[in-house]
Amino acid sequence: MNIEKRNLLRELGFWQEVAIVEDCRCPSCAERVDEDEFRNEVFMREFESSGLCQGCQDTVFGYKVAW
């Protein structure tokens, strides 16, 4: 997560979520995220943007839509 995005999220009150993502944990389920779990580059970019693990991405976006 880049510094500007991190600072903006903290200013908006999402300091706890930022700390979770910086610790490589999914902000939705709080499980540790391993970069090897992502199916392809699209899922990896979504993780870099939202911090969501592969399982939570499947839940949020729908497995068939995302895959």
> Which residues does the chain have with pLDDT short of 70?
1-2, 15, 18, 20-21, 64-67
Range of the structural domain that residue 54 is part of: 3-66
36 token code pair: 């090897």
Model confidence pLDDT, tens digit, residues 34-53:
989 999 999 999 988 888 99
Q: How distant is the alpha carbon of residue 26 from its chain centre?
A: 5
Residue showing tokens 């969501």: 52
The pTM for the full model equals 0.68
